Chain A
């Protein structure tokens, strides 16, 4: 008994000591993350949190939408005039495109190709975001809705924004295209220059690995090339901007401007399969 007391006295049980011990344990778990322990914990926590997340995110989106609405009242008049002008231009453009679409449909049926927009979509709502807003999204659909890893995620019927990363029973995480870990095969719409679209540290998109013999033009659209079998061909990614050479000087590269503001996303669509 006395010996135990002596031993305890020898160990310095101060605040500093405990802080150091905890700091050391956490540092080790950061360096060697115990995924086998945390993975079931995460799945359970996300399943329990599902209804609460829906409520919190619903309220947050409503507040944000109301704020954006009141904030935009001043600019509505100018915006309306601009949209009316744009509407006239688009109406005439639409008439020309309708004719082309008919021709395209006839040619595709003759070649035995699937219609381009025949996707089996699953709609989902964003219920959580990583701080910073441009890395990972948490959505309210998961394994129960038939989602699987690597399924492409789009908005507005065809703008690619990322892939499904992790799937839980009622939730899934999406890795956005702007993440460094994200790679998608892309092709430019006019000159058919092939390259790889990758994230620039979560802050933007880069169209790289383009051969120097290919032509890149600023303002040209980039779509998915379909080389990667998980992502269908023809999904819009963005517009080329700031064209230059890669740091090693071997390839061409350009930054991509995407029409989607990743931080404002509320509804997304997951392509589960192209219809047979």
Chain B
């Protein structure tokens, strides 16, 4: 129960931080950087199966508060979580400097890729009858892409230790509860 509550609070806080802080401070950025970075960081910490409920919860809450209905963002982060998990195993991203460097690369790529996907979808809207509404209007410049990458990197350095600490706290709580039962 404690675990669920803490995770729910974290997810809620991160979504609100994105909508009411990051989007207000950087209105020119077209992608929700904080939820994307959180999904990457959580996947690297927990792996895909354990991270899936968190990813889905965060994506659906973000879409629900932002648009009222699930959008392509929920699809993207589910796919992203699986891809990050797949790549982290193949690239042996457990620890060390190379792991940090690769994590940073993945974070920047994840945020920028979403902006590129939205932009491609938006420009091809007229030739996508039936699903054109999936792609909202988005402006796209090189400067925006650079800003998205920089902000995602900054968010990663801020979020990664926070999420790691929360996971460590939860695992210690679980161990203590287990020992108390024994």
Contacts and interface: CB of A to CB of B under 8 A. Distances in A.
Interface of A: 15-16, 18-19, 22-23, 26-27, 29-30, 33, 35, 38-39, 41-42, 45-46, 49, 52-53, 56-57, 59-61, 63-64, 126-136, 138, 166, 180, 201-203, 263-264
A38 B25 contact: no
A42 B21 contact: no
Given A30-B74, A131-B29, A131-B30, A18 B24 contact: no
Nearest to B125: A201
B17 A19 contact: no
Contact of B70 (A30, A63, A263): A30
B25 to A, nearest CB: 4
A54 to B, nearest CB: 8
Given A23-B78, A26-B74, A203-B139, A63 B69 contact: no
Contact of B52 (A18, A128, A136): A18
27 contacts: A18-B52, A19-B52, A19-B79, A19-B81, A23-B78, A23-B79, A26-B56, A26-B59, A26-B74, A26-B78, A27-B75, A45-B12, A45-B64, A52-B13, A57-B21, A57-B24, A60-B21, A64-B24, A128-B24, A128-B65, A130-B23, A132-B27, A132-B138, A132-B139, A133-B23, A134-B27, A135-B137
Contact of A263 (B21, B22, B28, B48): B28
A51 to B, nearest CB: 10
B64 A42 contact: yes
A81 B22 CA distance: 35
Given A26-B56, A29-B74, A33-B69, 11 more contacts: A16-B82, A23-B79, A26-B59, A38-B64, A41-B64, A52-B16, A56-B17, A130-B23, A132-B27, A132-B138, A180-B137
Contacts of A18: 48-49, 52
B21 A49 contact: no
B75 A15 contact: no
Interface majority SS (helix, strand, loop, mixed), chain B: helix
Nearest to A20: B82
Given A26-B78, A45-B65, A135 B136 contact: yes
Interface residues of B, number: 47
Nearest to A33: B69
B69 A53 contact: no
Contacts of A38: 64, 68-70
B24 A129 contact: yes
Contacts of B71: 30
B19 interface: yes
A81 B93 CA distance: 58
B127 interface: no
Contacts of A134: 27, 137
A128 B67 CA distance: 12
B44 to A, nearest CB: 15
B75 A61 contact: no
Interface in B61-108: 61, 64-72, 74-75, 78-79, 81-82, 85-86
A16 B85 CA distance: 11
Contact of B137 (A19, A22, A30, A132): A132
Most chain B CB atoms below 10 A, which of A127, A130, A134, A135? A130
A14 to B, nearest CB: 10
A46 B65 contact: yes
A171 B122 CA distance: 29
A27 B59 CA distance: 13
Given A30-B71, A30-B134, A22 B49 contact: no
B31 interface: yes
